[in-house]
Amino acid sequence: MIPKELGKPLTLPCQSSRIRFGPEGVLFAAGHDGSVLRWDVTGKEPKPLPTVKLHNGWATALAFHPKKPLAISADSHGALIAWDRTADTPTPVWSQPKAHDGWLRATVVHDDRVVSLGRDGFVRGWNLDDGKPLRELSLGVDIFSLAVAPDGKSFVVGDLFGNIHVIEWDKWKVLSKYEVKELHLLDRIQDVGGVRALAFKPDGRSLFVAGSVPKSGGFVQGFPLMVELEWPSGKRLTQWKGAADNEGFIHDLLWLDEGFLAGVTSGQPGQGRLFVWKPGDAKPLFESTKLPNCHSLARHGKLLAHSATNANSSGNGKVKGKDGDYPANSSPIQLWTMA
Partner 1 sequence: MNPNLCTPQDHRLSRRQWLGATGAMALGGLSLPAFAEELKKKRKQVLFVWLDGGMSQLESWDPKPNTTFGGPFRAISTSVPGTHVSELLPQTAKQMHRLAVVRSVSTQDNSHSAGVDRIQRGDPKNRGVVYPYLGSAVANWVGAGDSGLPPYVWIKPGNGGFIDREAGFLGPKFGALALGDGKPPENLIRPKELSMADDFERNELRKLADARYSAGRRKENTEANSFAFDMAEQLQKKLELFDISKLPAKDTQRYGTHDLGRHLLLARRMLEAGVTFVKVTSYGWDTHGDHFNGAASLHPKFDKPFAAMIEDLAERGMLDDILVIAISEFGRTPRINGHLGRDHWPEAWSVAMAGRGIKPGVVEGKTNALGTEVASEPHDIGHLFHTWYKALGIDPKKSKYQNAGQPLPIAHEDMHAVKEVLA
List residues binding partner 1 (CB under 8 A): 14-15, 17, 32-34, 56-58, 60, 76-77, 102-103, 119, 142, 160, 187-192, 194, 217-221, 248-249, 266-272, 292-293, 295, 308-310, 313-319, 326-329
Nearest-angstrom CA–CA distance, 193 and 215: 10
Query: Looking at beta carbons only, is 125 or 214 nearer to partner 1?
Result: 214
> Residue 277 pairs with which residues in a beta bridge?
261
Query: Looking at beta carbons only, is 291 or 335 nearer to partner 1?
Result: 291
Query: Closest separation between CB of residue 9 and partner 1, Å?
Result: 14
Query: Closest separation between CB of residue 255 and partner 1, Å?
Result: 25
Q: Quick one: how far is CA 192 from the chain centroid?
A: 18
> Residue 256 pairs with which residues in a beta bridge?
260
Query: Looking at beta carbons only, is 44 or 188 nearer to partner 1?
Result: 188
Residue 308 burial (CB count, 10 A): 28
Query: Closest separation between CB of residue 293 and partner 1, Å?
Result: 3
Query: Closest separation between CB of residue 150 and partner 1, Å?
Result: 29
3-state secondary structure of 126: strand
List, as one string, the DSSP characters of 236-263: EEEEEE-S-TTS-EEEEEEEETTTEEEE
Query: Looking at beta carbons only, is 204 or 270 nearer to partner 1?
Result: 270
Query: Closest separation between CB of residue 29 and partner 1, Å?
Result: 16
CB-count burial class (<10 Å; 0-12, 13-18, 19+) for 144: buried
Query: Closest separation between CB of residue 250 and partner 1, Å?
Result: 13
CB-count burial class (<10 Å; 0-12, 13-18, 19+) for 132: exposed
Nearest-angstrom CA–CA distance, 317 and 55: 30
Nearest-angstrom CA–CA distance, 45 and 251: 28
Query: Looking at beta carbons only, is 239 or 246 nearer to partner 1?
Result: 246
Query: Looking at beta carbons only, is 30 or 149 nearer to partner 1?
Result: 30
Query: Closest separation between CB of residue 106 and partner 1, Å?
Result: 14
19: left (phi over 0), alpha (psi -120 to 50) or beta: beta
Query: Looking at beta carbons only, is 248 or 284 nearer to partner 1?
Result: 248
